[in-house]
Amino acid sequence: MRTTTTARISYSVLNVIVLLALLFPFLWMISASLKTQIQILNPDNLFKFTPTFDNYVTVFKEYDYLKYISSSLIVGVLSTLGALALGLPAAYAIAKYKMDSVSVVILVAKILPGISYLVPWYVLFNKLHLIDSYLGLILSHMVIGLPFIMWIMIPFFASFPREVEESSWIDGSSRMRTFVQMVLPVSLPGIITASLLAFIYSWNNFMFSFVLAGESTKTLPIAIYSFVGGASIQWGALMAAACIITLPVIIIAMLAQKYVVSGLSAGAVKG
């Protein structure tokens, strides 16, 4: 009995230590966004300081972050919708016709580092005059989001009973109608999970936007980089901007948490 109690206490203490280690950078980011530059650089002001919202005022007034937020939303939402429009039917076909070789190709495309696409994209998009355009950014994000969505959704579609589909076809329903009205609603947890993860990837992406975006299509990760100068770093404004870019992802994740958990667990079991 004592051994069990000691083990539980040790487990709880270990969980608290791990949780504090994970939360400390996030909490420091929030506190630093409410400090002046001098307070941030002074270790004595780590916990004791007078909060100020000047950094947030600087971010929105001097750097026009509403423009960058709208750019990130446009690219993130449209690239996710485009990947869903192509990925869901493709994943359904792969699952139902058991195209295992195609699944391997998708896995390889998912594993490949994104930087390997950059040079071909830049050459191609430059020829098509898509540099510094939303279309170029959306297509580049779709190339990564598409295999990701397909890989998540294949187990969901593979587990859908074939008999239910065949009975629907006998009743006169087309394959597309069966897919839209029967298969997709049942697979909603997986669709929400894949959509959320694809959007988060696009929202946080730095590398593609750094190469393919320009002043008119600059997204939030690139805008944050502007606070890093050769002589100094504006830590307060940088942390305020980091809080701004993190907040929407946290809100979306909290609202869709039950779908994400059920989607990932169901996909793992069905896969």
How sure is the predictor about 80, in pLDDT bands with cuts at 50, 70 and 90?
very high
Residue of 200, 208, 210, 211 lying closest to 260 (CA atoms)? 200
Q: What is the pLDDT of residues 8-28, one digit of tens each?
A: 888 888 888 988 888 888 888
> Above 70 in pLDDT, residue 1?
no
The reply to whether the predicted model has a pTM over 0.85 is no
Question: Which pLDDT does position 73 carry in this prediction?
Answer: 92
> Above 90 in pLDDT, residue 252?
no
Q: Extract the tokens encoding 228.
A: 């890093």
> Above 60 in pLDDT, residue 256?
yes
Question: Which pLDDT does position 269 carry in this prediction?
Answer: 45
Question: Which pLDDT does position 186 carry in this prediction?
Answer: 84
pLDDT (average), residues 73-83: 94
How sure is the predictor about 85, in pLDDT bands with cuts at 50, 70 and 90?
very high
Q: Which residue has the tokens 């959320």?
A: 196
pLDDT (average), residues 221-235: 80
Between residues 6 and 132, the one the model is more confident about: 132
Q: Which 8-state DSSP code applies to residue 228?
A: B
Cross-strand bridge partners of residue 233 = 228
Q: What is the pLDDT of residues 176-205, one digit of tens each?
A: 888 888 888 888 888 888 888 889 889 988
Q: How many alpha carbons fall within 13 Å on the CB side of residue 267?
A: 22
Three-state DSSP class for 233?
strand
Domains of the chain: 52-267 (1.10.3720.10)
Question: Which pLDDT does position 267 carry in this prediction?
Answer: 47
Supply the DSSP string of 2-53, one letter for each residue: HHHHHHHHHHHHHHHHHHHHHHHHHHHHHHHHTS-HHHHH-GGGSS------
How sure is the predictor about 71, in pLDDT bands with cuts at 50, 70 and 90?
very high
Question: Which pLDDT does position 268 carry in this prediction?
Answer: 45
236-238-242 Cα angle (round to 5): 115
Q: Extract the tokens encoding 43.
A: 């270790």
pLDDT (average), residues 153-178: 81
